[in-house]
Amino acid sequence: MDAIGFQNNPKPTLQVMLQTIEDLISRDDQREKDGFPRRIRLGRIVKPNKNNQKVVVVPTTTEPKFYHDDSVTSDEQETGGTGDGQEGEVIGEAPAESQQGEGEGQGAGQGGDGEGHDVVADAFDLGRILTQKFQLPNLKVKGKKRSFTKYKYDLTDRNRRTGQLLDKKATLRKIIQTNILLGNLDEDGLIDPEKMVLNPQDEIYRILSAEKDFETQAVVFFLRDYSGSMQGKPTESVTSQHLLIYSWLMYQYNENVETRFILHDQTAKEVKDFHTYHNSSVAGGTNVFPAFELVNKIIEEESLYIDNNIYVFYGTDGDDWDSDGKRALEETEKILVHANRMGITVARNTWTTGTTTVERYFEQSGLLKNKPDLIRIDAFSANDADEARLIEGIKKLVEQKA
């Protein structure tokens, strides 16, 4: 090793060569073109905390090799231990769904309401990556409503030495800085501009650049079933998928999209933030319509339809005590008057065979056929849904043409 090199250069090439998540993802795109499978996955490391759950987005990858696999012949994990205890004695337990650590990033935490604003900050990060990696089709505004993403050109960016307009204030500041460093300014505060050295590097110009101009024009409703039957995998799938959608919206619309969260079992309630929405534990029985009813109530009362695009994402395991879904369908029709898109996710339970109640009554209502541009359903078995499947689901829910 060239030790001398390290001494002189305390940050060796390591730092310089490190690729960013973006580099890695564009490498992954290239892999596909070269005919090799993609390798980068995005994982989330979660640190659960009562008051704020921290999430960090990290890339993960695997290096496939030939390895031995014990899982077929041995049923359970084994490790070592020490201390007192008879054979067969239980010496500890842990929650079955681990809440911390890295992973493919699924799973809603248990626990009650809490302040959770870190989720928003990191969701922005996740969305940035999702938008680039998965190229989710952008939600577009239909009809005569204005676009809420537009560009304007402005002299906002700054550049040294060249540009369209000299930024006098910034330049002066830079000149003074340089001269302080050179020792040309007296400490007693008497400034003699003649003594100052003018370095062309200190000239700061403004240059014309494209700026995104955002206006809040969308309201997105997140609805989910948190009834008893949602325990476990279905909840995990729905909350994970909604976190992905939420993250992507936060990114694409620069956190300016307004979001509302509704939970329902037999009755529906609005909760104040995504954290609570994501983490609330399961409750009682299942009636779908109150949630839809609440959406309509909010839209009417706040006249949201006048200025806003409205999107509704609903997640369920497909169970509804109201087996013909009469009222749910009525409310859905009302929603569709105003909504640009309603996306329903059915994360089927393991014991479900065939289609679920919700899927069935939506199918029979003809809504899916008649208004394919306004309403979509994506159904899958919650047990088999990995992150890739969830993202596939989002594509189905938000794509432009059926």
Partner 1 sequence: MKIIDQHTKKIMEDCKVRARDAGLCFDNESLEYIVTNQDLIELSPKGMIPTLYDYWVNDVETLKGKGQYKLYPHNPYETVINSRPAISYYNDNNPDWLNIMIFYHVIGHIDFFQNNILFEHTWSDDFVGKALADKRHIAQLRSQHGRWVDYIIEFSRSIDNLTGYFTELSIRNFPQNMEPTDKLRYYFDEFLPKETLANIGKIYSEIERYNILLESNDMVAESMFFSDIKSKHPEFESKFQKYKDIRKERSIDIMDFIRDNSPFLKRDENQWMKAVINIVRDTSLYFAPQIRTKTINEGWASYWHDELFRKDDRIKGHESEYSVINAKVTSISRVGYNPYAIGLRLVQYIESLADAGKISREYQLILNSERRDEFNKISGKGKEALFNLRSQFSDFMLINTYVDQDFVDLHKLFVVGERLNQQRGTVEYYVKSKKAEDYKRMLIDNMYHPPFITIDTEKSNDKKLFLKHHFEGKQLYKPYINDTLLGIEYLWFGNIAQGEVILETTDIIKRKGSEDSVSFEYKPIHYIISNKKVSKRYL
Q: Which amino acid is at 256?
A: N
> Is 187 exposed, middle or buried, given 0-12, 13-18 or 19+ CB atoms closer than 10 A?
exposed
* Residue 63 touching partner 1 (CB under 8 A): yes
Q: What is the DSSP string of 324-385?
A: T-HHHHHHHHHHHHH-SEEEEEEEE-TT--S--HHHHHHHHHTHHHH-TTTEEEEEEEGGG-
* Cα–Cα distance, 84 to 91 (Å, whole number): 9
Tell me how far, at minimum, the Cβ of 355 lies from partner 1, in Å.
Answer: 27
Q: Which is nearer to partner 1, 86 or 162 (CB)?
A: 86
Q: Does residue 351 belong to the site contacting partner 1 (CB under 8 A)?
A: no
Q: Does residue number 310 form part of the binding site for partner 1 (CB under 8 A)?
A: no
Least separation, in Å, of the C-beta of 246 and partner 1? Answer: 20
If binding is defined by CB under 8 A, does position 210 make contact with partner 1?
no
Q: Which of 32, 50, 52, 73 binds partner 1 (CB under 8 A)?
A: 73
CB of 2 to partner 1, least distance (A): 7
- Strand 165-166 and strand 149-160: the pairing is unpaired
Residue 192 Rama label (left phi>0; alpha psi -120 to 50; beta): beta
Instruction: Locate the DSSP E strands across 173-203.
Output: none
Which one among 22, 32, 36, 201 touches partner 1, defined by CB under 8 A?
36
66 binding partner 1? (CB under 8 A): yes
Contact at 8 Å (CB) between 220 and 148?
no
CA distance 110 to 281: 6
Strand partners, 54: 47
CB of 133 to partner 1, least distance (A): 14
Smallest distance from the beta carbon of 68 to partner 1, in angstroms? 4
Angle at 177 between CA 176 and CA 180, to 5 degrees: 85
What is the distance between the alpha carbons of residues 64 and 315, in angstroms, rounded to a whole number? 35
Q: How far is CA 177 from CA 59, 173, 180, 191, in A?
A: 41, 6, 5, 13
- The window from 46-54, 249-257, 338-346, 367-375 that contacts partner 1 (CB under 8 A) reads 46-54
- Residue 40: CB minimum distance to partner 1, A: 7
Interface residue with partner 1, options 22, 50, 61, 329 (CB under 8 A): 61
CB of 226 to partner 1, least distance (A): 16
Segment near partner 1 (CB under 8 A), from 28-36, 149-157, 364-372, 378-386?
28-36
CB closer to partner 1 out of 18 and 190: 18
Choose, by CB under 8 A, the member of 12, 137, 284, 366 that binds partner 1. 12
Site for partner 1 in 85-124 (CB under 8 A): 85-96, 102
Q: Which of 22, 27, 157, 182 binds partner 1 (CB under 8 A)?
A: 27
Cα separation, 341 vs 331, in Å, equals: 14
Query: In the complex, what is the shortest distance from the CB of residue 382 to partner 1, in angstroms, rounded to a whole number?
Result: 16
CA–CA distance, 226 with 148 (Å, rounded to integer):
33
What is the binding site for partner 1 (CB under 8 A)? 1-3, 6-7, 10-15, 17-21, 23-24, 27, 30, 34-37, 40, 43, 45-47, 54, 56-70, 72-74, 76-96, 102
